[in-house]
Amino acid sequence: MATYTPPVRDMLFVLDTIGDLDSILNLPDFGHVDIETVEGVLSEAARFFSEVFAPTNEIGDRKGVSLEDGSVITPDEFKPVWSKLVESGWTAVTGSQDFGGHGFPRTIGLALSEMMTSANLAFSLIPMLTGSGITLLTRHGSDELRDKYLANLISCEWTGTMVLTEPQAGSDLGAIRTKAVPNRDGTYAISGTKIFITWGDHDLADNIIHMVLARTEDAPPGTNGISLFLVPKFRLDADGSPAELNEIEVVSIEHKLGIHASPTCVLSFDGATGFLVGEENQGMRYMFTMMNQARLEVGLEGLSVAERAYEHAAEYAKQRLQGRALGSSEPSPIIEHADVRRTLMTMKAYTESMRCLVYAAAAADDVLHSAHSEAERLEAGNRLALLTPIAKSWCTDRGVEVASMGIQVFGGMGFIEESGAAQFYRDVRITPIYEGTNGIQAIDLVMRKLPMDNGAVIEKYLAEIEALDAELERAGEPLAGVRTELANATKVVRKATSWLNSSPDVQARMAGATPYQEMLGTLAGGYYLAVSALVALPHVDKDPWMSAKVTTATFYATNLLPKVHGLIGSAIGGSNLIFAIDPQYIGG
């Protein structure tokens, strides 16, 4: 069984250097939290998620879930672990203190989510989606709905889902047909079929709160006519306790490549009682509150599984004896072979850069919702808007890549399920797909985020990267390679950015979106590791861990960052070539 050791020191390092934790803890909402408390929370959480939560990962993958008499049944081992998770309060760390939460910053919650997700991705999807629903209700729900549902959602006594997709409405949610008919008591009768509903039913919590997109009568066509409804699995009685079963049927559960322990449900709503969230026809706007948070969390999933795959591969490489390393007369651990070592260094560099990117986005989210001034909130909101599609797409693409590398380190054993390496790949493969495919994220980045404020948002980010050059120059020879490669990469990303922001050819811009997303994500990773190296450099003589930080940043800059130069041709090459072949000659 693969073990998991949460990288607490690196989490704290990134929270400090990239997330600017000191500044966040000085925001008005977080005066009750100090760095000592954060360190204690992360240390205790590491014990819980490594010792209690992580052992369920292989069990859940092997046993999966079942549908019996219309209800989803989880593995027996999940129930006591879920109870311990709820009792421990880990899911309530960032929840509002007004509803029983602890009111910690999002950045700290994300660090805890990283541990939970590394420990068991499939299981962690319950709190992740519940957290998104909490955010949605907090920002858009009525006082009555908040009072009835928030406390139990924050504690995870009840859990939440996102109920969007229909057979004919995947990425195009404007095609939704689920109906919402007003009842005399102010509620709505919700009818329709929804698919791909993660944790749409289970036997772990007392109630499941579905956030459902549907159309009211005479609603405008397309996305402008979609409303959002809260639909509980059990209606509440006068005391607010779950009572009668709502008209929701679990039609089936999907058989999937990975995340076997997470039930992916087809749900049928047959006049189910629902409650309007906010105003009619504003559902898409509200849902994006939930989806943007979920997209950052999915980026975190790419990081989390990469960390687990990297740890697993490194441990195997230290133990597996095969061949003789150069200069050795005895069988050597494969970690001593150059190609294996390069693979592990690549896994390490990508994983640490992903952590920086995701935590940077979470820090912007904290500032957005808690800063003193409107100007600070505006700047943070722009930075979050820019980083979210990058974090979601680049981190999940790299997560798949790192998990694949993990299998490669294991060699033939990696292809055998018993090794555990294959599960990480199977599980993480969904992350570039759900919560908005990575292609859609890339198009969002190019078509919406680059033009923000007439290009000023991306310009500020690139200028921030360029401003690091002076510090790297002062650092001298130890970071000379980092300085050179970061400067060269920034220039080529600038060129692509300028072309994409100025081209009148919409099809050409969309055709270049995915390679550009990879360029910008790769640059961001190199930038954050360079910042980390500058912080670590004064300590390298006395602290090998800090020395490894500098080495990792240098490896990334000289081995991975140059990839941006090979991507610019496809980023700005236009669309003529990719549309030059008639569709009938593609695939046949």
Q: Which residues are catalytic?
A: 435
Q: How far is CA 165 from each of CA 121, 278, 509, rounded to the nearest angstrom?
A: 21, 21, 27
Please list the alpha-helical segments (H only) found in 213-326. Answer: 283-319
Question: Which strand (E) or helix (H) includes residue 441?
Answer: helix 438-444
Tokens 């046949």 -> residue: 588
Strand partners for 212? 163, 229
Determine contact, residues 261/122, Cβ cutoff 8 Å: yes
Nearest-angstrom CA–CA distance, 302 and 395:
5
Within 10 angstroms of residue 522's Cβ, the number of other Cβ atoms is 24
Query: What is the Cα–Cα distance from 486 to 524, expressed in whole angstroms?
Result: 10
246 three-state secondary structure: coil
Tell me the residue length of the chain.
Answer: 588
Nearest to 550 by CA among 564, 521, 529, 523: 529
Task: Report DSSP letters for 94-127, one per residue.
Answer: TS-GGGT-----HHHHHHHHHHHHHH-HHHHHHH
CB 249 within 8 A of CB 265: no
Give the amino acid at 575: S
Tokens 């009525």 — which residue?
A: 142
Which residue type occupies 462? Answer: L
- Which of 110, 105, 93, 214 is closest to 154 using CA atoms? 93
CA–CA distance, 106 with 95 (Å, rounded to integer)? 9
Which DSSP category does 221 fall into? Answer: S
Quick check: helix, strand or coil at residue 34? Answer: coil
Q: For 298-307, give one letter per residue: b (16+ CB within 10 A) or e.
A: bbbbbbbbbb
Q: Which of 564, 503, 543, 110 lies closest to 300 in space, CA to CA?
A: 110
Element (H, E) at 365: helix 338-370
